[in-house]
Structure 1
Amino acid sequence: MSDRFDCRNCNESLYGRKYIQVEEKPHCIPCYDRLYANTCQECKEIIGHNAKELFYENRHYHEHCFRCFRCDRSLADESFTIQGDALGRSEGFCNEFSSKCVACDKTVMPGSRMLEYGESTWHEDCFVCHGCEKPIGAEAFIPDKNNYYCVPCYEGRFAPQCSHCKKALTKGGVTYKDKVWHKECFFCSGCQTSLAGQSFTSQGESPYCVKCFSSLYAKKCAGCNTAITGFGDGKYVSFEERQWHQPCFKCSRCSVSLVGSGFFPDRDLILCTDCNSDE
């Protein structure tokens, strides 16, 4: 008597019938389809053992169910994309759901290299500098109205030039007498110290820090013998060949302020009216 050869699941004899081995265990076709066949994502029916099955992102389809939801055309041999649960031909689907390149007006296909700025989208190769017309790619760029420039083109066309080094000044900087400098280029003509953020003055076209201007050009106060720089309250009194800080302009005898008052010179002295009358 021969050994039995039965389906592992239903125990029916497999002699003379088709069967499928699963882990070396035979199963009749109905049992195999019920236990192991996948369900089609589209029609929700079992994908039988003899049906051609397509698989995409953990989803299974009959070959005839793998089609564009709009035009019903098979996607088995075409490029496609997916939006939610819907499959669509890349060209038709993208025309409806994808952005268009503002340069060439063609669809920016999913997965392609692109650039987005503001509310606009470009193919990577279409996003070019308005100056040199080279693709900007992932490099830095500067928008100007409706045009976009790579940094070298923008600097060459629009950025002001530093009065010292003549290179483009794209941010920050110092403006003085209608001219611009990089902060590091705006320094004292005497000691070369940076003047950005500190008090300074000029002699002709050359800027100087307070210390250098005082030692090189400032006149001395006839009262305290220190430089009159114009800094601080900046006010001073001048008479003949002499100058005084306003607080230093006072009677040589009683020290009363002579600012706004009459005074009398007496050789190197200046006297108020009362002290001059006492003589």
Structure 2
Amino acid sequence: MTGSRMLEYDGSTFHEDCFTCHGCEKPISAEAFIPDKNNYYCVPCHEGRFAPQCSHCKKALTKGGVTYRDEVWHKECFLCSGCGAPLAGQPFTSQGEAPFCVKCFSSLYAKKCSGCNSAITGFGDGKYISFEERQWHQPCFKCSRCSVSLVGSGFFPDRDQILCTDCNNDD
């Protein structure tokens, strides 16, 4: 074609108007493109056809990202279901399918320690003791009278208190 610019790629020569995107069929010209086998795609068509889609915003995920429950997310789209804070790179947990930051999960769902009344989250020193309807962080599981640790020891429940063997025998 007279007056048409010639383009070369990978040992082949094309008229400028003939070097088109296999998806939208628009001329690629001097724009960025992505080869795939014997086809060439403009960046938007390649992203739309081949790039994974963010589970939150449904836009193409072209680099980085987070995988959660076999779904991919942009780092900025992976948010706490409670407060909306970004969770990428932060400790988080879930309730059902929904991810939560530690603070939201603690206030909404975590059991409370019978010793200190703060949340038992499983983060940090996550070990805890459970007896009937009550739970304690391991450091909080101590005799209500003398404060000796009851971890690994026998104890006696006395209404809202728990007692070591010595304090129970003093009664």
| TM-score normalised according to structure 1 size | 0.53
Q: In structure 2, what is the equivalent of residue 171 of structure 1?
A: 63
- The Cα of 1:158 is off from its aligned counterpart by 1.8
Secondary structure in structure 2 of the residue aligned to 1:276: helix
Post-superposition Cα deviations, 1:189-240, rounded to whole Å, max 9, x if no partner, equal 2221222221221221111112222222222111111111221132222111
Q: In structure 2, what is the equivalent of residue 261 of structure 1?
A: 153
Post-superposition Cα deviations, 1:54-86, rounded to whole Å, max 9, x if no partner, equal xxxxxxxxxxxxxxxxxxxxxxxxxxxxxxxxx
Q: In structure 2, what is the equivalent of residue 195 of structure 1?
A: 87
Q: In structure 2, what is the equivalent of residue 114 of structure 1?
A: 7
1:208 to 79, 100, 109: 100
Q: Counterparts of 1:115 and 1:264 in 2: how far apart (Å)?
A: 85
Aligned: 1:131 with 2:23: yes
Please, what is the CA RMSD of the aligned residues? 2.3
Post-superposition Cα deviations, 1:25-81, rounded to whole Å, max 9, x if no partner, equal xxxxxxxxxxxxxxxxxxxxxxxxxxxxxxxxxxxxxxxxxxxxxxxxxxxxxxxxx
Mark the CA change 1:121 to 1:234 in structure 2 (over 3 Å): closer, same or farther: farther
When structure 1 is superposed on structure 2, of 151-160 and 129-138 the one drifting more is 129-138
Mark the CA change 1:243 to 1:144 in structure 2 (over 3 Å): closer, same or farther: farther
Unaligned runs of 5+ in 2: none
Unaligned runs of 5+ in 1: 1-111
Matched positions, count? 165
Higher-RCO chain (CA-CA 8 Å, sequence separation at least 6): 2
Aligned: 1:220 with 2:109: no
Q: In structure 1, what is the equivalent of residue 141 of structure 2?
A: 249
Secondary structure in structure 1 of the residue aligned to 2:34: strand
Q: Counterparts of 2:149 and 2:37 in 1: how far apart (Å)?
A: 61
Secondary structure in structure 2 of the residue aligned to 1:184: helix
Looking at CA atoms only, which structure, 1 or 2, has the larger radius of gyration?
Answer: 1
For 2:91, the aligned partner's letter is S
| C-alpha contact (below 8 Å) 1:114/1:121 kept by paired residues | no
| TM-score normalised according to structure 2 size | 0.81
Q: Counterparts of 2:39 and 2:154 in 1: how far apart (Å)?
A: 68
Mark the CA change 1:153 to 1:237 in structure 2 (over 3 Å): closer, same or farther: same
- The Cα of 1:175 is off from its aligned counterpart by 1.1
